[in-house]
Amino acid sequence: MKVLVIGNEDRYKKYMPDVDIIKEADITFCPLGTSEEELIELGKPAQVLLVDAIAPVSKNLIENLPNLQLIHSEGVGYNAIDIHTAKERGIYVCNNKGVNAGAVAEQTILLMLGLLRKVATGDQSVREGNQLITKEKAMIEGITELADCKIGLIGFGDIAKATAKRLYPFDCEMYYHSRTRLAKEIEDKYHVTYLELNQLAATCDIISIHVPVTEETTGMINEEFLKNMKKTAYVVNTARGEIVDNEAMRQALIDGEIQGAGFDTVYPEPTTKDNPLVNLPEEAADKVLFSPHIGGITSSTFFRAHENIWSNVQAVMNDQRPNYVVNGVLKIRRG
């Protein structure tokens, strides 16, 4: 069995489970950024393509790997994979659904608390010898507790559910919006109330994004949405950067349309210092808290993900359907 990996070789080797299928595999590793020409040359015999969640897998690449049976994202995201071409060719595309839900939920709440408590500027002020000045200022301006916030979750998949579960002990009101409203018993289980999207924007003190990147969701946090929010409210994005309209968000921060934002993901990746959300004017810079897209990359997440990846590779090699197929293929075409 031939396997082509687009991703970090050391990471893959660290988290590989001790299973026979790996011992039988002939694995070729290619780092992110490897040209398509080289990937095609090295991957011609490959039956399996394992890819970093942000690695592009184009129509051209898929069409030029004639033996391919499975494309597997290392993470939950698969928006960089041409799932339509893979479906046309009868190739499974799989992800690791839900594998990082708890980890991303932790990061989401960290950003919420970090914004409310201004942890980045607070840390800096102490290092600069301004602890008492900053404390006095905070007492005058006021610090909002998470318990005093209405939290709005956009999307209610695995990560949003894990976030709601962890937020409940903070005693905050929780609302959500999704394409399909949940059954009442599910709403009650997670202590959430449904709102239409415009109501959610206008009602909540913190808006947290938990939807995948689709044509519908790309740029959904736009000028209209941001103007509908409270001027005292925050946006937290631990989903994908493409969901936020960067220029609209930048202007909203500069104009004071919202209080601030926390980003674990910023489009495009890698995030550079000239990005419009990073390169903010001084008066708006401290309104934003960043983390380097680490929400879902805990050690436990990677161990679970790689166990699932190789379990799915084994299933395909045994002519069985793998789990978490995202492109609707029911059975691969052989021969």
Active site positions, annotated? 240, 269, 293
Secondary structure in 3-state letters for the chain:
CEEEEECCHHHHHHHCCCCHHHHHCEEEEECCCCCHHHHHHHHCCCCEEEECCCCCECHHHHHCCCCCCEEEECCCCCCCECHHHHHHCCCEEECCCCCCHHHHHHHHHHHHHHHHHCHHHHHHHHHCCCHHHHHHHHHHHCCCCHHHCEEEEECCCHHHHHHHHHHHHHCCEEEEECCCCCCHHHHHHHCCEECCHHHHHHHCCEEEECCCCCCCCCCCECHHHHHHCCCCCEEEECCCHHHECHHHHHHHHHHCCCCEEEECCCCCCCCCCCCCCCCCCHHHHCCEEECCCCCCCCHHHHHHHHHHHHHHHHHHHCCCCCCCECCCCCCCCCC
CB count within 10 Å of CB 318 equals 8
